Amino acid sequence: MASTITASSAIDVQGLVSSLMKAERKPLEQMKSEARKIDAKISAYGKLQSQVAAFRDAAASLSRLDAWRAVKSTSATPAAVEITARPGASATQHAVSVQQLAQPQTISSGAFAGAAAVIGGGTLRIQLGTQPSGATSFTPDAARAEVAVTIPAGATLADVRDAINTSGAGVRASIVRDGDQVRLFATGSESGGNQAFRMLATDADGVSTDTSGLSALAFDPTAAAGAGRNLSLVRQAADAQYTIDGVALTARSNRIADAMDGVDLVLRQTTTAPVQVDVSVDTAALEESTKKFVDAYNALNKLISEQTKYDEATKVAGPLQGDRSAVGILGQVRSIVRETVAGGTLTRLSDVGISMQRDGSLAMNAETFRASATDPSRLQNLFAATGTGAADRGLMLRFRDLGDRLIGADGTVPTATEAWEARKTANSRRQDAFETRMTEVEKRLLRQYTSLDAQLAAAQGSSNSLASALAGLPRL
């Protein structure tokens, strides 16, 4: 190239070296371009990892036993009879009538001026039991000991309430307003005919059955009114009485666990006509879970297709275009869609309305699926059969296992990601080494052209001196 010599015969050293270094640095731009492509591949594999995990989980949910034990329960009159069926409950249908709700016992005192009214001291002895022959009978439950509640001298009605509530006697006390006065209410903590109770008094005034002092709060069902039965029976403890398909039944509580196998009832109102309750297989839940799988499959199919395609129109390739690992994943997933399951009347996904489209996605025909789900056992065999051989394992188990292989610790996706991460690290090291070398090259070029510039300047100075000397010689 021509020498860039200034009018003073000096070289533009900085400009010359800068131009030379641009040419020297071209390989670095190629390395940076390669690094950007590697980053795009690592990002694409990150998305692939997430989508495979979602696909794997959707398949796993259809391979678990609880997916096939889902049931739904309905009541014709839930305001009267509520029904809840647990997974695995058998499909059934019954008529339930409620003759009586279970209830706790409640007793009420006479009227007092207020909660601060002084009652007096002594002991209240609370005993749980039953009333086998009506409201004026009582049989104590020997298995449940009597609880003595100490009432201090000078205690108020509020003090008595608090003492009962902290005694753990199985009775709750409250003060209820009655016009300008109040009454003490005592209610059993639980419902049922075996939750009746009596409340005997040992009054500090020495008389334990009259209506003054602490004995005013005594309640002995077998005593005479005003002589030990000084509180009124507002509500008698009672069992629930109901029928299922005409069979008379009782329960201690209105919440009846396992009223039928895997089925709980809550009795809320008495009825004048039987209430129809049903338990059936929850095919809607199965359909929803299957739709989620189809959606997860389609999202995975779309992602891999987009990441691996080459767009002829834009001449732009996806970050994983030509990547064997990514293309292989798509092939493995699609392959299982075409497989069959031995040992059942439904052998392939197309039998339940799930078919592959031209772009590799899945379409689900809801009507066909619902028809096949009327007998969930057939569908369960297709999706979740736990056979010992490859041919008789359910398809969702196969999809789940494939997902595990793809994203497990040594799976295809993590292995490919690690490989690209290693290439990124190597690229970064090459860039660092190249930058170091370029620094040395630039220093060398600066030294060389600075020296040359000095030599040319000196030569130009000598030339000027010689020209001046020659000009001073006499002309002949």
Say if CB 245 and CB 94 are below 8 A apart.
yes
Residue 297 located in a structural domain: yes
> What Rg do the C-alpha atoms of the chain give, in angstroms?
46
Joined together, the tokens standing for residue 183 give: 């009454």
Q: Please tell me whether residues 164 and 227 are part of one structural domain.
A: yes
Q: Please tell me whether residues 197 and 309 are part of one structural domain.
A: no
Look up the domain containing 119 and give its range. Answer: 106-235
**Eight-state DSSP code of residue 391:** G
Instruction: Spell out the per-residue pLDDT of the chain, length 476, in tens.
Output: 444 444 444 677 788 878 887 888 888 888 888 899 989 899 999 999 999 999 999 999 998 877 777 888 999 999 999 999 988 788 889 999 999 999 999 999 999 999 999 999 999 999 999 999 999 999 999 999 999 999 999 999 999 999 999 999 999 999 999 999 999 999 999 999 999 999 999 999 999 999 999 999 999 999 999 999 999 999 999 999 999 999 999 999 999 999 998 999 999 999 999 999 999 888 888 899 999 999 999 999 999 999 998 888 888 888 898 889 999 999 999 999 999 999 889 999 999 999 999 999 999 999 999 998 888 888 889 999 887 788 889 999 999 999 999 999 889 999 999 999 999 999 989 888 988 888 888 888 888 888 887 777 777 767 767 777 767 677 65
Q: Please tell me whether residues 133 and 229 are part of one structural domain.
A: yes
Residue 14 located in a structural domain: no
CA nearest neighbour of 457 among 5, 10, 6: 10
Q: Please tell me whether residues 133 and 243 are part of one structural domain.
A: no
**Alpha carbon distance 283, 355 (integer Å):** 20
Query: ∠116-122-123 over CA atoms, to 5°?
Result: 105
Residue 45 located in a structural domain: yes
Residue 13 located in a structural domain: no
How many domains, the chain? Answer: 3
**Alpha carbon distance 60, 384 (integer Å):** 9
Q: How would you classify residue 3: left for phi > 0, otherwise alpha for psi between -120 and 50, otherwise beta?
A: beta
Q: Please tell me whether residues 335 and 404 are part of one structural domain.
A: yes
Q: Please tell me whether residues 310 and 407 are part of one structural domain.
A: yes
Q: Please tell me whether residues 406 and 347 are part of one structural domain.
A: yes
**Alpha carbon distance 139, 127 (integer Å):** 10
Q: Please tell me whether residues 273 and 289 are part of one structural domain.
A: no
Q: Please tell me whether residues 248 and 225 are part of one structural domain.
A: no
Residue 431 located in a structural domain: no
**Alpha carbon distance 441, 131 (integer Å):** 108
Q: Please tell me whether residues 45 and 193 are part of one structural domain.
A: no
Q: Please tell me whether residues 337 and 300 are part of one structural domain.
A: yes
Residue 124 located in a structural domain: yes
Give DSSP secondary structure letters for 302-322: HHHHHHH-EETTTTEE-TTTT
Residue 328 located in a structural domain: yes
Q: Please tell me whether residues 217 and 312 are part of one structural domain.
A: no
